Structure 1
Amino acid sequence: MGDHPNSRDGEAKTLSPLLPEDVERNAAALLDACCKAGLTLATAESCTGGLIASLLTDVEGASYAFDRAFVTYSEEAKCAMLGVRQEQLAEHGAVSEQIAEAMVRGALHYSGADVALAVTGYAGAAPDGQEDGLVYFACMRRGGSLRRHVSRFGAIGRGPVRIESVRVALQMMRDAVDQL
């Protein structure tokens, strides 16, 4: 690892050594597309725990296109930081299409970003017989239409679910940036 371009004295400075090349390449391409279009990004993350934001900010020059991240792992954080209502959580549960939508709308409302992405799901074993690896995504461009996606990754493990979620998130944000 000492000869990796992002390492010094044997320690990695970025997530690069841990991520598949396509994920890094797609993150850099997304930020480049944002810069060219004059757009900024925000993320609202639950099950990915800030991994998407961390990946994006690993790219040199990210500050030109990345506004902020909301890491809202708990229900309380979703309410306090994104304006998700307790009634929504009680009715739909934190892992739901409705909460992903509320999170993305909150991310746009509480940021200066042009495009926001929200993700909520079960990275590991799901409670109460819920589906392992179930992840809901919502992405929206300010003034544009809401896009939703659900992935059923299955019981592939926490790390793999998070990496696959990053892949989906990057593609959804890229689609929103490219939206006319």
Structure 2
Amino acid sequence: MELLSKFEIEGLSPLHHGYPAWPGGGPWLHLYRSGASWTVLTSGLSDGNEYPYELFLDSADEIEPDDFGSSWQANLIYETGRIIPNVPGLKERLEENKFLTLQVHMDGAPDEWSLPHEDGNIGLFLTPDDSSVSALLPNGKALNVKLMRPEELVFCLENGMEGRLQLAGHYKAQGGALTSGMDRESVV
């Protein structure tokens, strides 16, 4: 993977006011490219011990390195990075459930990707991963963030852990189980 760009989430900037401290001393977002795949990866979320996770999002949709910080992919990781450090028992939850869902509030999201819901209009599917992204993390574990279609989020909300297991199987069957893209069809 080739590192193309970095974006620092500056704690003293008014644009990032109230952004939580990350256990590993970050926050940074890095943009990598490998072939036709683009990867947004956090740096500084993992402390390498009690909090082992860094977030990543793989996308087939092109990201302009010069405009990386305002891409939808970076924005999803940015918003996830607001929430994840405050989730109690994340490590234990992932060990028990393997797959988790998360809802974030994002203004301006396309209607076909947005679900009017009090807990957040955008659904994200979280999957621990040991792919090539993990090789970039000497002291952490990669946690994939996959953009969900609204129908997929509703399916998970209605079916709990069983729904998440089924959805993971559907993603694998669709191909690109860890990849997010704006043209992807719903698997339910």
Structures share fold, TM-score greater than 0.5: no
- Name the structure with the higher helix share: 1
Q: TM-score, structure 2 length as denominator?
A: 0.34
Length-normalised TM-score, structure 1: 0.35
Q: Which has the higher strand share?
A: 2
